[in-house]
Structure 1
Amino acid sequence: MENERVQTGVRGLDPILNGGLIRNSLYLLKGAPGTGKTTIGLQFLLEGARRGEKCLYLGLSETRGQVDALASSFGWSTDGVEVHDMRRRGEAEQQRGAYTVFSPHEVELEEISKEILAQVDRVQPSRLVLDSLSEIRLLADDSFRYRRALLRLGDQIAGRNCTGLLIDVDTEPGQGVVAETLVSGVLELEQLSPDYGGDRRRLRVRKLRASQSVGGYHDMEIGAGGVHVFPRLVASQHRTMHSSSEVLSGIAELDRLLGGGLDRGTSTVLVGPAGTGKSTIAAQFVARAASRGEKGAILCFDESPTNLLIRTTGLGIPLRSHVEAGTVEVRAVDPAEMSPGQLSDSVRQLVEEDHRIVVLDSLNGYINAMPGERFLAAHLHELLAYLSEKGVATLLTLAQHGFVASSESPFNISYIADTVLLFRYFEVAGEVRQALSVVKKRTGGHERTIRELRFEPSGVVVGEPLLKFQGIFSGIPQILDPDALRAKRGSSER
C-alpha cells in the first residue's frame, strides 16, 4: 500500500516530493537565516488548518508576536494554528545560580523536552512545526547529548500520529548531520547573491526516505503569496504524442525558403545582427498561427511589449488584434529578477494553457543578465526538449555582434536548435539591404538560396533568390551582372 501523503501548502513543492510528505514522519528543514524556513513552516500549518487538521507551532527562536507579524505580512491569519511561545528570556538566567548538582544546560534541555511533549499531548496535532533546533543544540553542548535528546524527542512525537517539520539553521560542517540521520527527509534552502540583480533562493531535497523525489536544485522565491518553488524541468517526464504538421508564416516565399514552413515540436533560432528583422519574422509566425485560432506567446527580454505592438502594427502584422482577442500573449520579462527555474515555470504555464507557438525574444538579454549561471546551456536544452515533447513550435532570437561583418554569437545554441535562420546586412551600390537564408533544418529539406528581406508598410516582403550576387554574407557582395544592376537602379530613380 502506498504511503499516505500530506500536502505542504507550498506552491510547487509537492510535485518535487512526489505528492507531498509522508504522513506521521519527521522532516528537517534547514538553511541560513532569511531563506524562508519559517515561512514554509507556516504554509505547512495553514494548509493543515484549511483542511480541518489540528496544527501546532512551537517557537523556540520566534516569539508569538514575530510569528503573527510574519503571517500578517502575507495577509494570513494564524487563527487556525496553535502557536506556543517557548523562548527562554531573563527567567532562565536568574534560575541558573540555583543549580548545584546538575548542569544548568542539562536542566533546561530536560525542561524544554518536557514542555514540547506536554504541548503535543495537549493539542494532539496532526501537523507540528518546531522552530528551531538551534536552541536544543546549544543546550545539549555536545553532539552526543544532542543526538540523545533528538532521538528521544523524535520517538515520542512519532508515536503520536503527527507529521512534523523540524527547522534548523545551517551550522558548521558536521554539526547538522546528527539531526539529518534521525529524520525521514531533509530539505535544504540556500540564498545566493549574484553579481547583478536580486538575490536568488533555491531548494534541494537531500534526503527523502521511502519516497522518490525530483533531484537537484529547484529555484524558489518569497513573494506576496509566501514561498513559491519552481520544480526543475525534466523533459523526459513530459513525453506525449503530438502532430508533425507544419507552422506557416503566411509569406509564401519565406515558407518555400523553409521547405514548407516550420515543424511542430521543433526549435528555431533566428540569428543575426540587431535590426535585421528577427523579432518581426517571429511575430509574423505568431500572428499567422493566431489567425488559424492557435494560441501563441512572446516573452520579451529586451523590447517592451508596447513597442513590439506599435512596430508590428506599422508593418501590417495584426499582432495587436490577436493580443486584444486573447489569442496571443506578449509578456515582458525582467531577466535580472527572474531565475532559470522561474522562466521554465512561466513557459510550462503557457503550454498548459494550450499555447502552441512560443517566442523567446531575445536570448541576449537573458544571457547578459545571468553571467554567473554556469549551466544556462543545459537549462535551455532541457527547456527546448520539454517544448519539443509537447509539440510546441519554439522560436528564439539571438543577436550577433557587429552589423555588416558579424562576428560569432555570444552564446552558441545552434547545435541545440532544429532550424537556424540567418539574417544579414549587405551593401550594394551605397544602399544597405537585408538578406535571409536557412542554413540548417534538421527535420527536412529547405532552399539553399539567399533571399532579400524588406519591411514595407504593407507587410514583410521576402524577395526572389539573390542570384546576381556572390559573398552576401560577407556584407560586401560581388556583382555577377553589373549591367542588369545598373538598369534596375536607373528604372527605380525614374
Structure 2
Amino acid sequence: MPASNHQDPASDRASPHPSSPRPPTPTGLSGLDAILRGGLPAGRPSLLRGSAGTGKTVIALSFLCHGIAQGETGVFVTFDESPEALLDHAEGFGFPARADLAAGRLRILDMRPQPNEVQVGETIELTAILARIGYALDRLESPRLVLDAIDALESGFADSANLRAELTRVFDWIRERAVTCILTTGEQAEFSARYGLEDYIADCVIALRQDVKDRIMTRVLRIVKRRGGGHGANEYPFLLDSQGIFLIPVTGTTLQARVSSQRLPTGIPGLDAMLGGGGPYAGSTILISGQAGTGKTSISSSIARAVCDTGQLVLYISFEESMDELIRNQGSIGIDLARYSDSADSATGCAGTLVMQPVRAVEFGLEEHLMRIIRSIRVLQPALVILDPVSSLSERRDVSGAKEMLLRLLYLIKEEGVTTLATELLSDDSLGVSHLDVSSMIDVWIKLRRLENDGEMNRLITVIKARGLPISDQVKEFRITPSGLQIIDPYMGEGGIVYGTARIARLAEDEETLEQLRLDLDRAQQLRREIEEIAAASERLNRAERDAKAADLDRQIAQIESRLARITRARAAIKRERA
C-alpha cells in the first residue's frame, strides 16, 4: 500500500450529515436487527469485534449482501483475506458474490499490508487507502461499506499514538461520507482497549465471543453500545454454520400465542375420547411423561402419522434414535413412517409430510439446540414438531439452565403457532413426578406408567390436564400391539380395579360368582313362593273351619229359636182355651 501526503479528495467531496436522524440500516439478520431496534446506525461506523472463528466476516458479508439483494451496492475492503477467498467464503453461505461482482453491484478492494511496501517514518499513511475506498464508493454510489480485519494495520505502525490518530481519522471519514460501515477487528493483544476504538470512536460496538462449557462451544453476541438509539442489553447466542448466521433474541421473548379452535388427531380413538372426543388444539403444547418402555415414542409416532394423513407437515426431532431405527421400531406395531418421508413413493399422496432430524443431545449446547430447532421450524413451517425425548436436553449439570432453555423454546414454538409434542423420560424412582418443571407452559399433559403385578407388566395412561377440553378422569390401560395402539377401559369389579390378564381372570371369577348368585336367588325366590303358597293354603283351611263352626252355630240358634217359638204358641193356645 503506497503512502501519500495528498489530501483525500473523497473526503473533500463528502456530504454533510443530514439534519434529522436517518432510520437504522438493516443488517439482513432479523434477530440482530431486532436487538439493534431496527439495524445499525445509518451513515455511521459500527465496530464488530471478536476472536477468530466468532463470525465477524460472515456477519459483515450478510450485511453487505442483504443491501445488494435490496437493490443497493456495496464495497468490501479486506485487510486480511484475499478477494478470491472471500468470494468462496460468501458463496459457501449462499451469497451470489461472484454474480454481484460481475454485475457491478459489489466491489472488493484488496488492502492487505505487504512487508515490502513503502513506509514513511515507520508509519503507513492512510490517505491513499481512503482515496481508493472513496473512489469505489463513488463509482458504485454505495451506501454500505465493510472494512474487514482493520486491526491488521497495526503491523504498519510502530507508534500506537500514530495508529490511534489514523484510526480516528478513518472513523471521522466514514461519518463525513455518511456511509453505513461495519469495521471488524479481533481481540488479540487487547487491540480495542489500547486504541480506544470501543469507547471513543465507534457509534455501535458489537462484541462476539466463543463460550466453551462441558467441552461444548456456543457463540455469543452482545451489543456493547449503540449511540442514538436503544438496544438489547443481554447476551444472545447465535448459530454459525453452512446455512449462515441465525440469531434470535431468546432472552427477551414475550408470549403472543396464536389461538386456534382446530383439533389435531392423535390416531388413537381411545385417546381422542379421553381428550373430550377429539385431539388437542392446534398450536398447543403437549407433554407425554413416562418411564422407559411405557410407549411415549409410539404415541408420538401415532400422532405424527395422523397429522401427516391430513396433508400437514410434521417435524420429528429425535434425540435418541436414528431415522432408520425409528422407522423400523414403529413399523413393528403397524406405524409405517417411511411412507411419509421425502424418499417415499409420491403415489402415496403423503410423501414429504414428515421431516425427521435425528441429533444427539450432547452434540450441541442447549442454546444451539434451541436455535437449530427454531430455524428448522421457520424454514419448514410444520404443523407439528415432536421433541423425543426433550428430557435428554435437561440431563446436564446445569439443571436450571436447561429449564430456562426449555421454557424459552416452548414459548418460541408457541409464538410460531406450531403444535409442540414433547416426551419426557421419568426415572423409576421419580414416583411419577416430572423433573422438567415446565408445567406452566404445558397445555395437555399425558402421563404413562408401568404397573407390575403377578408377574405381568401393564401400561397405564392418564390425562393429567388439557386446557379448554373436557377430559376423562379415569386411569385406563394402554396396550401396544402388532396391529397398533389401544386404550382399554379398566375392569371395575367387586374386588376393585384390575388391568391386563388379571382383568380376564377377575372377569371369569366374577362370572362364576354371578352364576352362583343367580342360582341362590332362584332358590330363595322358589322358597319364598312356597312359603306364600303354604300360607295361602293355611288361610283357606282356617277359613273353612271358621265357616263350618259358624254354620253349626247358626243351626243351633235356629233350632233353639224354633223350639222357643213352638212353646210360646202352645202357651198362648192354652190361655185362650181357659178364657
Contact 1:54 1:123 in 2 (8 A): no
Contact 1:234 1:386 in 2 (8 A): no
Aligned residue identity for 2:287:
V
2: CA distance, partners of 1:300 / 1:147: 53
Please state if 1:484 is matched with 2:506: yes
1: CA distance, partners of 2:491 / 2:221: 54
Partner of 1:328: 354
Q: TM-score, normalised by structure 2?
A: 0.69
Bigger helix share: 2
In the alignment, structure 1 segments of 5+ residues that lack a partner are: none
Q: What secondary structure is seen at the aligned counterpart in 1 of 2:201?
A: coil
RMSD: 3.9
Bigger strand share: 1
> How far 1:372 sits from its partner (Å)?
5.2
> How far 1:442 sits from its partner (Å)?
4.0
> How far 1:63 sits from its partner (Å)?
5.6
2:224 to 182, 189, 206: 206
2:55 to 23, 31, 36: 36
Contact 1:56 1:123 in 2 (8 A): no
> How far 1:10 sits from its partner (Å)?
5.5
Change (3 A) 1:253 1:147: same
Contact 1:235 1:386 in 2 (8 A): no
Contact 2:267 2:305 in 1 (8 A): no
2: CA distance, partners of 1:65 / 1:307: 44
* Number of residue pairs matched by the alignment: 466
Partner of 1:55: 75
2: CA distance, partners of 1:244 / 1:207: 45
Contact 2:246 2:371 in 1 (8 A): no
Please state if 1:216 is matched with 2:234: yes
- Map 1:294-373 to 2 at 5 A: 294-323=312-341, 324=344, 325=350, 326-339=352-365, 340-341=367-368, 343-347=370-374, 349-350=376-377, 353-368=380-395, 371=397
Please state if 1:416 is matched with 2:441: yes
Change (3 A) 1:313 1:166: same
Q: What secondary structure is seen at the aligned counterpart in 2 of 1:307?
A: helix
Q: 1:44-89: per-residue Cα shift (whole Å, max 9, x none)?
A: 4455566462514041x55667656756776854764232324152
- Map 1:359-398 to 2 at 5 A: 359-368=386-395, 371=397, 375-398=401-424
1:25 to 40, 44, 49: 44
2: CA distance, partners of 1:352 / 1:49: 22
Contact 1:230 1:342 in 2 (8 A): no
2:144 to 127, 147, 150: 127
Please state if 1:273 is matched with 2:291: yes
1: CA distance, partners of 2:400 / 2:146: 36
Whichever of the two has the greater Rg, that structure is 2
> How far 1:231 sits from its partner (Å)?
1.5
1: CA distance, partners of 2:373 / 2:308: 20
> How far 1:300 sits from its partner (Å)?
0.9
Q: 1:256-301: per-residue Cα shift (whole Å, max 9, x none)?
A: 3334442333212111111110011122222223333333222111
Contact 1:57 1:129 in 2 (8 A): yes
Partner of 1:118: 131
Q: What secondary structure is seen at the aligned counterpart in 1 of 2:249?
A: coil
> How far 1:470 sits from its partner (Å)?
7.4
Contact 2:219 2:238 in 1 (8 A): yes
2: CA distance, partners of 1:22 / 1:466: 71
Contact 1:297 1:357 in 2 (8 A): yes
Contact 2:198 2:205 in 1 (8 A): no
Q: 1:127-168: per-residue Cα shift (whole Å, max 9, x none)?
A: 3322334356674856x7665444332222222242211112
2:462 to 403, 413, 437: 437
Q: 1:97-143: per-residue Cα shift (whole Å, max 9, x none)?
A: xx5xxxx4xxx1xx33323322223323543322334356674856x
1:292 to 307, 310, 322: 310
2: CA distance, partners of 1:392 / 1:88: 55
Aligned residue identity for 2:108:
E
Q: 1:452-490: per-residue Cα shift (whole Å, max 9, x none)?
A: 111112210111136468799xxxx9x999972674999
Contact 1:449 1:466 in 2 (8 A): no
Partner of 2:542: none
2: CA distance, partners of 1:240 / 1:410: 25
> How far 1:337 sits from its partner (Å)?
3.8
In the alignment, structure 2 segments of 5+ residues that lack a partner are: 1-19, 345-349, 513-579
> How far 1:394 sits from its partner (Å)?
1.6
Contact 1:218 1:341 in 2 (8 A): no
Of residues 479-488 and 155-164 in structure 1, the stretch that sits farther from structure 2 once superposed is 479-488
Change (3 A) 1:48 1:241: closer
Q: 1:179-224: per-residue Cα shift (whole Å, max 9, x none)?
A: 3442221121111223244x32222233333455555333334333
